[in-house]
Structure 1
Amino acid sequence: MAPPPPFRAEHIGSLKRPRHLIDARTALDKGELSKAALTKIEDEEVARIVKLQQKYGFHAITDGEFRRHMFYDGFFDNLEGMTLVKDPSPDIFMDYVPDIKAFKAVGFKGGETYLATGKIKRVKPCYVPWFLSLAKDVAPEDVKHIKMTMAAPEWYHLRHSGKFAYSHDVYKNDAEYFADIAQAYREEIDALYEAGCRNIQIDDPLLAYFCADSMIAGLKEVGDDPEALLDSYIQLYNDCLATKKPDFSVGLHLCRGNFKDGVHFSEGGYDAIAVKLFNELHADFYYLEYDTPRAGGFEPLKELPKNKQVVLGLISSKVPKLEDKKEVIARIHEAAKYMGDPELKRIAISPQCGFASHIEGNLVTEDDVEKKLKLVSEIATEVFGTTVW
Structure 2
Amino acid sequence: MCKNSVHHYEIVGSFLRPESLKKAREDVASGVISGDELKIIEDQAIRELVAKQKEIGLKVISDGEFRRSYWHLDFFWGFKGVEHNVMDQGYLFHGEETRADSARLTGKIEFNPDHPVLEEYKFLTEIADGTPIRQSIPAPAQLVAELVRGSNEEKVDEFYPDREVFYQDIAKAYRETILALYDLGCRDVKLDDCTWGMLVDKNFWTTMTNGEYDTQALQELYLRLNNDAIVDLPEDLHVTTHVCRGNYHSTWATSGGYEPVADTLLGNQNVEAFFLEFDDERSGDFEPLRFVPEEKHVVLGLVTSKDGQLEEKETVVKRIKEASKYVPLERLSLSPQCGFASTEEGNILTEEDQWKKLKLVIDVADEVWG
TM-score (structure 2 length as normaliser): 0.93
Q: Which AA in structure 2 matches 1:269?
A: G
Q: Which AA in structure 1 matches 2:362?
A: S
C-alpha separation in 2, matches of 1:36 and 1:247 = 35
Note the alpha carbon deviations across 1:202-230, whole angstroms, 9 max, x for none: 11112111110024324543879521111
Within 5 A, what are the aligned runs for 1:1-389?
5-86=5-86, 88-90=87-89, 99-100=91-92, 102=93, 111-126=100-115, 127-140=117-130, 142=131, 145-159=132-146, 161=148, 164-165=152-153, 166-218=155-207, 220-221=209-210, 226-260=215-249, 262-339=250-327, 341=328, 344-385=329-370
TM-score (structure 1 length as normaliser): 0.89
C-alpha separation in 1, matches of 2:98 and 2:195 = 22
Q: 1 or 2 for the larger relative contact order (CA 8 Å, sep ≥6)?
A: 1
Higher alpha-carbon deviation: 174-183 or 59-68:
174-183
| Distance of aligned partners of 1:29 and 1:243 in 2 relative to their CA distance in 1, 3 Å threshold | farther
Give the match's secondary structure for 1:250: strand
Shift of 1:254: 0.7
Unaligned runs of 5+ in 1: 94-98
C-alpha separation in 2, matches of 1:12 and 1:210 = 21
C-alpha separation in 1, matches of 2:360 and 2:24 = 31
Give the match's secondary structure for 1:136: helix
Note the alpha carbon deviations across 1:245-289, whole angstroms, 9 max, x for none: 1111111111212111x2111111001111111121111100001
Contact 1:4 1:249 in 2 (8 A): no
Q: Which AA in structure 1 matches 2:339?
A: G
- The answer for the alignment partner of 1:96 in structure 2 is none
Shift of 1:373: 1.1
Higher alpha-carbon deviation: 170-179 or 365-374:
170-179
Higher alpha-carbon deviation: 173-182 or 246-255:
173-182
Aligned residues: 367
C-alpha separation in 1, matches of 2:119 and 2:128 = 15
Higher alpha-carbon deviation: 158-167 or 308-317:
158-167
Give the match's secondary structure for 2:42: helix
Contact 2:112 2:177 in 1 (8 A): no
Note the alpha carbon deviations across 1:127-153, whole angstroms, 9 max, x for none: 12111101111223x3xx201110121
| Distance of aligned partners of 1:149 and 1:235 in 2 relative to their CA distance in 1, 3 Å threshold | same
| Distance of aligned partners of 1:159 and 1:78 in 2 relative to their CA distance in 1, 3 Å threshold | closer
| Distance of aligned partners of 1:266 and 1:29 in 2 relative to their CA distance in 1, 3 Å threshold | same
| Distance of aligned partners of 1:109 and 1:328 in 2 relative to their CA distance in 1, 3 Å threshold | closer
C-alpha separation in 1, matches of 2:251 and 2:21 = 23
Shift of 1:17: 0.8
Give the match's secondary structure for 2:23: helix
Unaligned runs of 5+ in 2: none
Higher alpha-carbon deviation: 46-55 or 289-298:
46-55
Q: Which AA in structure 1 matches 2:141?
A: E
Contact 1:4 1:285 in 2 (8 A): no
Contact 2:167 2:225 in 1 (8 A): yes
| Distance of aligned partners of 1:189 and 1:3 in 2 relative to their CA distance in 1, 3 Å threshold | farther
Shift of 1:3: 5.2
C-alpha separation in 1, matches of 2:5 and 2:253 = 28
Q: Runs in 1 of length 4+ with deviation above 4 angstroms?
A: 1-4, 222-225
| Distance of aligned partners of 1:325 and 1:14 in 2 relative to their CA distance in 1, 3 Å threshold | same
Give the match's secondary structure for 1:286: strand
C-alpha separation in 2, matches of 1:81 and 1:196 = 26
Give the match's secondary structure for 2:51: helix
Q: Which AA in structure 2 matches 1:350?
A: S
Shift of 1:111: 2.3
Give the match's secondary structure for 2:140: coil
C-alpha separation in 1, matches of 2:2 and 2:224 = 19
Q: Which AA in structure 2 matches 1:84?
A: H
Contact 1:3 1:249 in 2 (8 A): no
